[in-house]
Amino acid sequence: MAKKKSTSPVVWLRRVVQSAFLLLFFFVFLQATFHPENQVGPGVTFFFELDPLVLFVAWLTSSVVPQALLLAIVTLGVTLLVGRWFCGWICPFGVLHNLLTSFRSRTVKLKIQRGAFSPYQRWKYYLLIALLMGALLGVNLIGWLDPFSFFYRSMATAVYPAFNSGTNAVFTWIYNEEPGWGPMEVTRVSEPVYDFLRNSVLAIELQPQYQWGLGIGLLFLAVIALNLYRPRFWCRYVCPLGAVLGLVGKNPLLRLEKNESRCNDCKLCTADCPGGANPHSTGGWKPSECFYCWNCKSACPHEALRFKLEIRHKGHEKTAA
């Protein structure tokens, strides 16, 4: 089997961009936590304003689209042109799934098997239809499965309270017990660190918690853990926002092309594909499942794959741009 080459600069750039958006999500989350009166203020709702699913629900339920949600049209417009890029570069919940996926320890053969497209990936489209029909009938359940809503709710009701309580308990124990390491007093280090955390990360008084906090936390952990079974399980099989972007970006201008003369069918590209887009398949690449993460191109040891712009005219041959 061919040897995998080093990671390409585009993949490193994507990782930097993803990390920046994940940090931005945590920043706006903390802003809402420390200033609950501004939970719908500028910046805090940024990711929801980018979300086309929220846009559709607002239109279906009230026939009125808030001006702030018009930013989601930009997301749709770019997706229409260059595919489902949002899932691979912007979505903070997707970044978290990527991180967990990277911890998988599998043989290359198993990675190829589980990296390939599965017919069950159509489930998210069926789920999207059901959710939109429910919203049209006045039953709005999309907020439970929209990735930003689910991520924010899990952080607010389970993850952050657990982190906050656990961190407070650890530093309180250190202060009371002063374990000490020889002549060194641990509190000389721990107390400044604790003061910093209380002023920047930890909440002195948590907001009232919902009785379903434990259940939401367990569900969140289960969703994250499923990445060890299938790469980006939520994004492939469940995410209704991913379904919207997959439908809009089904025929993008930016497309994957394979050079048959260079390809030796090692399928390392599919082993590294988080979306199950079948980059190894001649004519079978699935743009609606592709996150444009560039993993496939980076993994190919023979430079057989490339992304290029193609303008397709109806009834005519495609034209490379």
Q: Supply the mean pLDDT for the chain.
A: 85
| 3-class SS letters over 229-258 | CCCCHHHHHCCHHHHHHHHHCCCCCEEEEE
> What pLDDT is recorded for position 107?
83
Q: Is the pLDDT of residue 321 over 60?
A: no
Closest CA to 236 of 152, 122, 146, 145: 122
Q: Is the pLDDT of residue 208 over 60?
A: no
Among 68-82, 99-113, 214-228, the range scoring the smallest mean pLDDT is: 99-113
Q: Which of 129-133, 152-156, 212-216, 291-295 has the lowest mean pLDDT?
A: 212-216
C-alpha to C-alpha distance for 300 and 297, rounded to whole angstroms: 5
The C-alpha torsion from 38 through 42 and 45 to 48, rounded to 10°, is 160
Inter-residue contact 128 to 122 (CB < 8 Å)? no
Give residue 233's pLDDT band: very low, low, confident or very high (50, 70, 90): very high
DSSP 316: S
Distances (CA, A) of 294 to 83, 233, 270, 272, 308: 13, 19, 11, 9, 12
For 64-96, give one letter per residue: b (16+ CB within 10 A) or e: eeeebbeebeebbebbeebbbbbbbbbbbbbbb
Check pLDDT > 90 for residue 226.
yes
Give the pLDDT band of residue 187 (cuts 50, 70, 90). Answer: confident
**Residue 58: predicted pLDDT:** 80
Residue 238: which pLDDT band, with cuts at 50, 70 and 90? very high
Residue 293's pLDDT band (cuts 50, 70, 90): very high
Mean pLDDT of 185-212: 74
Whether 101 shows a pLDDT value over 80: the answer reads yes
Which helix (H) or strand (E) segment holds residue 309: the answer is strand 305-312
The arithmetic mean of pLDDT across residues 177-186, rounded, is 72
The pLDDT value recorded for residue 255 is 93
| Mean pLDDT within 80-86 | 93
Alpha helices in the chain (DSSP H): 9-34, 46-49, 52-62, 71-82, 85-89, 92-101, 108-115, 123-136, 142-145, 147-154, 160-177, 187-200, 213-225, 233-237, 240-248, 268-271, 295-299
**Per-residue confidence band for 80, with pLDDT thresholds at 50, 70 and 90:** very high
Distance CA(4)–CA(7), nearest Å, equals 9
pLDDT tens digits, 15-65? 999 999 999 999 888 887 776 555 555 566 888 889 999 888 888 777 777
CA gyration radius, the chain: 22
Looking up tokens 């499923």 gives 226
Q: What is the mean predicted confidence (pLDDT) over 104-119?
A: 84
- pLDDT band of 317, cuts 50, 70, 90: very low
First CA to last CA distance, the chain: 34
| Percent of the chain whose predicted confidence (pLDDT) is above 70 | 87
319: pLDDT strictly greater than 60: no
Which residue, among 273, 237, 231, 230, has the nearest Cα to 125 in the 3D structure? 237
Q: Is the pLDDT of residue 157 over 70?
A: yes
- pLDDT band for position 115 (cuts 50, 70, 90): confident
**Across 275-297, average pLDDT:** 92
